[in-house]
Amino acid sequence: MNAAIIAVGSELLGSSRLDTNSLSITLLLERYGIPLDQKAVVADSAEKIARELRSLLELHDLIVMTGGLGPTDDDVTKEAVAAALGLQLVDDADILANIEQKFTSRGLRMPAPNRRQASVFSGQQTLANPRGTAPGFHLAVSAGASVRHVWIFPGVPFELEGFLEADFEPWLKGNSSQSVYRRVIKLTGLSESAAEEKLGPFYRRHEGEPVTILSSHGEIQIHIQAVGTADEAYPELVTREQELREIFGDAAYGLDDDTLEAVVGRLLVSSGSTISTAESCTGGLLASRLTDVSGSSSYFLGGAIAYSRQAKLFLIGIDPAVLDHEGEVSEPVAIQMAQGVRRRFSTTYGVGITGIAGPTGGTASKPVGTVHVAVADQKEVRHKRYLFAGSRELIKHYSTQMALNMVRLMLIRQR
């Protein structure tokens, strides 16, 4: 079985809204191991809805539609589906009475357009809507020897959730033999294509098994999954996770919901260490990420944001001769920032970042994106020079990502 989703509604095609209903449907499909490989958002046009439904039914066993079941003239989902599948719409007296009653119970008269919501597909299953007026539908459509399923739900999220819980999930449970277990392995400090190259042997060993690589904001996620009962799937997932850990070594920083800042936080806690930060081009973003982690006050003692030359002198105690001779964006300044802040806050680790976030301020020898990161502890100081590409905000983000990773690598190598 494979699935597609159709969301109906011109309002979903503006620049200020997205179809988020599909996410709750997707979660259920994932839970019961049914691959979703297409989604469509279609305006309130009977012709376009019908065309899309027919097209998707050729390659999918299960179609879930939302929206376009309201009382107004531009709600045309039922008419479009009837036309596409050759079904008849008939008025249902019980549903009509039920809709009328919902209005009269609140002392209101049923507006005439609401009558449209009482039409149903002849010979198909109609689903009661305890949370609103529009019923839902489950249509079984013959396609040669097999049967394809079309589910139609209102687009109001609260009503949709009711149908998913009462009707759709029980049906999925009864019609899927297996569950899907997922794991995400998170990497940082290498490029997507480098990760791809290293994955070659893994791909070949697990041909046909779904592996997804996502890359964004200086990190790479490898999504793996295993299908079956928990007893079958779980050991498989663990084995594959181990294979990936062997392939990527220290570049694999965490799993699933882990963030790099949370992983660094756990390593700091478990080693009884503390940290402080001295930031120039990242302007406080590194400290902000560290303090996004609940409980970070036990290891993050504070930081200095030394944006101006003066602040570098009085706040962190950089040697003015070094500043003059090497420039604010340089290896010696990053190192002095790391060592200086570490000393001032009396922390185990000190981090220094200085660079050019752009879009202005670059030179031939120090172009925009040049960033020096240094991490100091009691025994040593490590330094790296980076050249990042991207917007000002991206360069800030990458810089903090690489700084957090340098701290992480120092922590795990000292264990």
Binding residues for its own copies restricted to 202-231, rule: CB under 8 A:
212-214, 223
Q: Segment 88-117, which members bind its own copies (CB under 8 A)?
A: 106, 108, 111-114
Q: Candidates 1, 30, 89, 266: give the one binding its own copies (CB under 8 A).
A: 30
DSSP string, 333-354: HHHHHHHHHHHHHT-SEEEEEE
Sign of CA dihedral 305, 311, 315, 321: positive
- Could you tell me which of 338, 259, 260, 271 has the C-alpha nearest to residue 298? 271
Q: Say whether residue 238 binds its own copies (CB under 8 A).
A: no
- Smallest distance, Å, CB 88 to its own copies? 26
Q: Candidates 123, 170, 235, 295: give the one binding its own copies (CB under 8 A).
A: 295
Sole window of 242-250, 273-281, 375-383, 407-415 interacting with its own copies (rule: CB under 8 A): 273-281
Q: Cα-flanking dihedrals φ and ψ of residue 274, to 5°?
A: -130, 165
Q: Say whether residue 391 binds its own copies (CB under 8 A).
A: yes
Q: Say whether residue 255 binds its own copies (CB under 8 A).
A: no
Chain position carrying tokens 């930060």: 277
Encoded tokens for 408? 């992480």
Q: Say whether residue 256 binds its own copies (CB under 8 A).
A: no
Distances (CA, A) of 292 to 215, 253, 287, 333: 22, 18, 9, 27
Rounded CA-CA distance 26/5 in Å is 9
Q: Say whether residue 48 binds its own copies (CB under 8 A).
A: yes
- Smallest distance, Å, CB 77 to its own copies? 15
Q: Candidates 282, 339, 348, 405: give the one binding its own copies (CB under 8 A).
A: 282
Q: Say whether residue 165 binds its own copies (CB under 8 A).
A: no
Q: Say whether residue 300 binds its own copies (CB under 8 A).
A: yes
Q: Candidates 311, 322, 323, 409: give the one binding its own copies (CB under 8 A).
A: 311
Q: Segment 350-389, which members bind its own copies (CB under 8 A)?
A: 357-361, 387, 389
- Smallest distance, Å, CB 124 to its own copies? 25
Bond prior to 332 in cis (omega within 30° of 0): no
